């Protein structure tokens, strides 16, 4: 029987003489509090002075160590990796605060406590009242087309802010997009992020985030030589997949794999294909076929607009992922400001047609 680890025993503690730990929050598939539940414990905390409610992420070193040791891993190497993970994520969050990234979840406090003679590091962050966007859309029936476009614009701004600091998120998906009632949407969970020029162990993984949102080149084990191509274009692919999810209920990978021959599809799609370059023509054809689903979005001009955005963001060829016109784009500039403008244009067009509150059709 698995014992309760120190990171799961924090209810009732007062942290930094300021924050009271109120309750443990389950994370993952059943709730809307982001991801990372396998490596951390999540809590709701309250500021004892202002009564502000926030989110606490406690790094569960003990659980991770127990699982690693059970698999015969080296204790010192695992401990070093855990410490490095915490320090790296802490540094990324500091950069986000320093650069005032308004569309990225902000860390408000941090520290460590000792429970059962074990050190438990933690971060205290903004808590999104409405949870993550996946759960919010599923349980809220009145999410309008304009609201969905607004959330996508917010996510794009968050990614642009990260990219401007040479950071790639690498794990963009609906459960990592947090919805605030008065602040729109923000990007959360930098636990799998990459920073250009800074070595970190997740950079050695072909797929750093959720494989359901991973771009095709990663599914085939192909590693692009340039950091921007390898990391930031992955963000763009995943952003397009979030747009697809919000307007069709399905990810780009889920749509596309229906049209890929089994002998060409990657193993994670149940196929036997193992060469990205050879599979690319088939992937491009499958992608083109899958885009037809956006023809069912009403009004028609909105469907065309979303289709164009997904086509530019989530093209199977990583070299084609950009908001610039082909042959007219700087190598390292993905044109996210253009994408922000496209979302703005569609939002304004809904307003002009008196459709700001319309729910549309999937």
The rounded Cα 187 to chain-centroid distance in angstroms is: 7
Same domain, 252 and 151: yes
Mean pLDDT for 254-262 is 96
348 assigned to some structural domain? yes
Distance separating alpha carbons of residues 339 and 220, to the nearest angstrom? 28
Q: How confident is the model at residue 83 (pLDDT cuts 50, 70, 90)?
A: confident
1 assigned to some structural domain? no
Distance separating alpha carbons of residues 13 and 10, to the nearest angstrom? 6
Residue 85, pLDDT > 90, answer: no
**Residue 193 CB partners (closer than 8 Å, separation 6+):** 89, 92, 162, 167, 168, 169, 170, 171, 202
Same domain, 175 and 301: yes
pLDDT of amino acid 326: 63
Residue 33, pLDDT > 50, answer: no
Residue 30, pLDDT > 60, answer: no
Q: How confident is the model at residue 204 (pLDDT cuts 50, 70, 90)?
A: confident
76 assigned to some structural domain? yes
Distance separating alpha carbons of residues 45 and 49, to the nearest angstrom? 12
Q: Which residue range forms the structural domain that includes residue 192?
A: 133-352
| Structural domain count of the chain | 2
User: What are the tens digits of pLDDT across the range 286-305?
Assistant: 999 999 999 999 999 999 99
**Residue 154 CB partners (closer than 8 Å, separation 6+):** 103, 184, 185, 186
As a whole number of Å, the end-to-end CA separation of the chain is: 46
Mean pLDDT for 42-47 is 96
Same domain, 80 and 169: no
216 assigned to some structural domain? yes
Same domain, 122 and 139: no
Residue 37, pLDDT > 60, answer: no
């Amino acid at each position: 029987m698995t014992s309760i680890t120190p990171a799961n025993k924090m209810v009732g503690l007062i942290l930094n003489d300021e924050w009271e730990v109120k309750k443990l929050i389950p994370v993952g598939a059943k709730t809307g509090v982001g991801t990372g539940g396998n490596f951390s414990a999540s809590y709701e905390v309250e500021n004892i002075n202002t009564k502000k409610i926030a989110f606490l992420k406690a790094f569960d070193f003990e659980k991770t160590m127990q699982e690693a040791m059970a698999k015969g891993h080296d204790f010192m190497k695992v401990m070093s990796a855990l410490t490095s993970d915490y320090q790296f994520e802490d540094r990324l969050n500091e950069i986000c605060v320093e650069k005032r990234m308004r569309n990225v979840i902000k860390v408000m406090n941090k520290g460590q406590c000792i429970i059962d003679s074990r050190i438990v590091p933690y971060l205290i962050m903004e808590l999104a009242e409405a949870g993550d966007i996946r759960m919010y859309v599923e349980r809220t029936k009145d999410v309008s087309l304009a609201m969905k476009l607004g959330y996508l614009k917010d996510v794009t701004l968050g990614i642009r802010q990260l990219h401007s600091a040479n950071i790639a998120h690498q794990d963009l998906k609906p459960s990592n997009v947090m919805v605030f009632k008065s602040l729109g949407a923000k990007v959360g969970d930098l636990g799998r992020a990459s920073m250009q020029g800074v070595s970190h162990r997740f950079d050695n993984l072909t797929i750093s985030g959720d494989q359901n949102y991973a771009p095709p080149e990663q599914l085939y084990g192909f590693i692009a030589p340039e950091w921007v191509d390898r990391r930031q274009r992955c963000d763009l692919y995943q952003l397009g997949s979030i747009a697809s999810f919000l307007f069709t209920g399905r990810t780009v990978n889920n749509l596309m794999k229906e049209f890929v021959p089994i002998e060409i599809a990657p193993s994670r799609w149940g196929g036997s294909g193992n060469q990205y370059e050879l599979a690319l023509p088939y992937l491009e054809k499958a992608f083109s076929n899958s885009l037809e689903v956006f023809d069912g979005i009403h009004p028609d001009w909105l469907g065309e607009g979303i289709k164009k955005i997904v086509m530019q963001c989530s093209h199977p060829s990583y070299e084609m992922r950009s908001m610039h016109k082909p042959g007219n784009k700087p190598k390292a500039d993905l044109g996210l400001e253009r994408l922000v403008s496209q979302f703005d244009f569609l939002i304004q067009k809904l307003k002009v047609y008196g459709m700001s509150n319309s729910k549309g059709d999937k």
